[in-house]
Structure 1
Amino acid sequence: MTMYLREARSGRNCDTRPDQAALAAALLTALCVSATLPTTAHAQTGPYPNRPIKMIVPVAPGGGADAVARMVADKMSQSLGKTIVVENKAGGSGSIASIEVARAEPDGYTLVQCYVATHSTNPAVLKLSYDPIADFAPVGMMGKTSNVLVVSSDSTAKTLQDFISLARAKPGVLNFSSAGAGSATHLIMEYLENQAKVDLTHIPYKGAAPAMQDLLAGRVDAMFPSLTTALPHIKSGKLRALAVASEARDPAAPEVPTVAEQGFPGFSAIQWWGLCAPAKTPAPVVATLNKALNDALGQPAIQARFVEMAAEPTPISPAQFGAFLKEEAGKWSKLVKDTNLKVD
C-alpha cells in the first residue's frame, strides 16, 4: 500500500489495479482533509462568547429563583452580545440540573443558577451525584433575600407562637409545602421543628411555585419560602407572615418579626441565588461571565426590581463567591449534625 501511495504522490503512471488506485486516492484525500481540521477548529473558536449560552434554572417556572434568573440573564445577554437561553429543569431539589451542568463541557456555554438548595442544604442532608464545591466553577452571586414563615390568611395562627401551639396540640396534623426534599424551604422548617419541638408533615413539590400554589389554594397549612416569592401574596392579603428567618427584620417587611426574637435566639437562614459553571471552565471565561453578571446587577433598573422583589443584588468576585459557597456548605452540615436533623 505504501508503494502505491508513494507512486500516486509522485505522479508516475503505475500498472495498478483500479481498486488499488482508488484506495490510494481516497487515502490522499483523507490526509488532505485531516490537515485542514486544526485550522477550521481554530477558526470556530474565536472570542468568547460566539454563540448562545444556556442557563439551567433548577426550579419550576414562576417562583422567585426563576424570576431572578430570567431578569439577570436578559441583562447579561445585552452585555455579552449573545443570548442567554433560560431552561427550567426542576426535580431532585435542584440536583437534576446541577448534575447536568457538572457533567457539561467546561466551555462557558452551559451554566446553572446555583442556589441555597443545590449548594448548601442538599449536600448537608442528601446523597448527591455531584460535589457542590469540586464539580463547579463559581462565577458570582445574583442576590439574596430572607425566608419567611407564611400561613393562609384564614389560619387561626396570628403569630409564630400561635402556630407552634397549634402544632403541639395536633402532632403530625399540620403540614407544610416545600420546593423539594433538602431544599431551603424544607430544611429551614425542619430546623424550626427541631428548635420548637413540634412535629409537622412535609409535602415536597418540584419547585417553590407549585408549593406556593397549593398553599394559596388551602391544600397545605404553611410554607417557609423566600420573601421574594411570598411578598406579593402577603401584600395582597392572601397570606399572613409569621416570622422571617434572617438575623434582623427585613426592610421589605419590617413589621414581620424574626424567628430569633420570638423565642429562638441564634435562628438564622437566608435564601440566595448565584451562577456556576462546570469545574475547569477557563478563568478568562469565568471572568467574562462575572463582569457581565456584576454589570447587570449594577443597572438601576435591576436594582429597583430587586427592591420590589424584597431581594438584595450582591455583586462579588468568583473568589468571594467560592469562599461563600464553602462557608454555606459548612454551616448547614454543622447545623444538621448539631441538631441531629433527619430528612427522609
Structure 2
Amino acid sequence: MHLSLSRRRLVAAAVGAAAFAAAGPALAQESYPSRPITIVVPYPPGGSNDVFARAIGKRLSEALGQPVVIDNKPGAGGTLGTSIVAKAAPDGYTLGAVSSSFVTNAAVQPRLPFDPMKNLTPVAMMARGPFVVAVRADLPVNTPADLVALARKQPGKINYASSGPGSTNQFATELLKNKAQIFLTHIPYRGMAPATTDLMAGTVDLLIASGPSLQPALRSGKARAIAVTSLKPSVAAPGLPPMADAAPGFEFSIWWGLLAPGGTPDAVVQKLNAAVNRIVQTPEMREFFLREGAEPAQLGAADFAAEVRRAIPYWQDIARSAGIQAE
C-alpha cells in the first residue's frame, strides 16, 4: 500500500512527536539546572549550617552554571525552614542545608509538620566532625579517665550545659552518661552563647559541643578541651584523645548535608550529589572544613538516606531511655 506524500508527512510527524514526548523527561533532566537554585538554611546567619551552605553554594554555582541563593529561614529550632523545603516543588531548585539536629529533632518531635523520610530526600553530605568535650578551667580533670572517675566519685554533682532541651549537646552528653555509666546533672540554656558563657564563668562544669562554638571559651583559658567524641583521634581536633578511651563504645559525630523535597527526580539528585562530592574533596574545601572542626564527607545519596533512616529510631531509643524531650 502506497501512502500519499501528505499522509507520509503526517505519519512522520506523529512518530517524531512520540519520540520527543518519550525523550522529554530525559531532556529536562539533562538541562537541569536552567535557573537559580535556592538553599534554605533553617537557622540564622553565622551558624555552621549557614557558613557551610554559603561555601558549598558558591562552588555549586560555579559547577552548575547557575546562581545559588542562600535563604535563611530560622524558627522553631530549624523546623520552619525545613518545612519550607519539604513543601517545595520536587524539581531540584529548592534545597535545605541541615545538620544532625535534623534527625535528633525528628526523634523528639513526633508532631513535625512533615514526614522526615517521605517528604524530604537526602541529596549529599557535606562534612562530618566530632564534638569536643570541654570542662571549666578549674575542674580537676585532664583526661577522659579523670572525668569518668570524678563523676563516679561524685554522682550528680558534676553538671553539664546544653544549648537547650533536645539539642545535639544533650543527646551527646546523655549518650556519654549511658556508655560510661555515670550520672551528670543537666542545665539547659537557650542557645550555645549563654551555655559557653557560663562554662567560662565556672557556673557549669562540662559542655560537649562543636570545636568552633567552643573556641572563645578555650582561647580565653577559662575552659579546657579534654577529649573528642569520635571513636578514634580526629584530624579535626588534633591532640585530643577520644572520650571512648574511658567510655567504651561512646561515639557522637555531627554531620551537615543537603536535602531536597521528597519526590525529586533521581537524575537531579544524582547530579547534585556528584557535584557536591567533587567540591568537598578539593584541597581548598578540605582546609576550610578542618578550620571549622569538621572533615569533608563523601557519600552517595542512597548511603546518606540509609544513614538518616537508621539514625532516627536510634536517637528515639536514646531519648526514651534518657527522658530527653524537646521544649
Give 3-state SS (helix, strand or coil) of 2:278's partner: helix
CA drift at 1:218: 6.5
Residue of 101, 123, 126 corresponding to 1:117: 101
Who is 2:161 aligned against? Answer: 176
> Residues 1-344 of structure 1 correspond to what in structure 2 (within 5 A)?
47-119=31-103, 121-127=104-110, 128-153=112-137, 157-160=141-144, 165=150, 171=156, 174-178=159-163, 180-194=164-178, 195-205=181-191, 208=192, 212=196, 215=199, 221-230=205-214, 234=218, 237=221, 239-262=223-246, 264-337=247-320, 339-343=321-325
Distance 1:216 1:54 in 2: 38
How many residue pairs are counted as aligned between the two chains?
296
Q: Give me the TM-score of the superposition, normalised by structure 2.
A: 0.77
Q: Which amino acid aligns with 1:311?
A: A
Q: C-alpha distance in 1, partners of 2:161/2:152?
A: 11
CA contact 2:151–2:184 (8 Å) conserved in 1: no
Quick check: 2:199–2:206 contact (8 Å CA) kept in 1?
A: yes
Percent of pairs with identical residues: 36
Once residues 63 and 217 of structure 1 are traced to their aligned partners in structure 2, the CA distance between those partners, rounded to angstroms, is 23
Paired AA for residue 139 in structure 1: V
Q: Secondary structure at the match of 1:86?
A: strand
Task: Tell me by how many angstroms 1:57 deviates.
Answer: 1.9
Q: Output the aligned Cα RMSD.
A: 3.2
Deviation at 1:188, TM superposition (A): 1.0
Tell me the TM-score normalised to structure 1 length: 0.74
What is the letter of the counterpart of residue 176 of structure 1? A
Deviations 1:82-127 (A, max 9, x none): 22222233333322221121111212222111221112x1222222
Q: Is the 8 A contact 1:142 1:274 kept in 2?
A: yes
For residue 139 of structure 1, report the CA deviation from its aligned partner.
0.7
Which runs of no fewer than 5 residues in structure 2 stay unpaired?
Answer: 1-27
**What residue number does 1:38 align with?**
none
Q: Partner of 1:6 in structure 2?
A: none
Retained in 2: the 8 A contact 1:297–1:303?
yes
Which residue type is aligned with residue 343 of structure 1? Q
Q: Is the 8 A contact 1:58 1:90 kept in 2?
A: yes
Q: Aligned partners of 2:200, 2:51: CA distance in 1, in Å? A: 19
> 2: distance between equivalents of 1:215 and 1:90?
26
Counterpart Cα distance in 1 of 2:137 and 2:73: 31
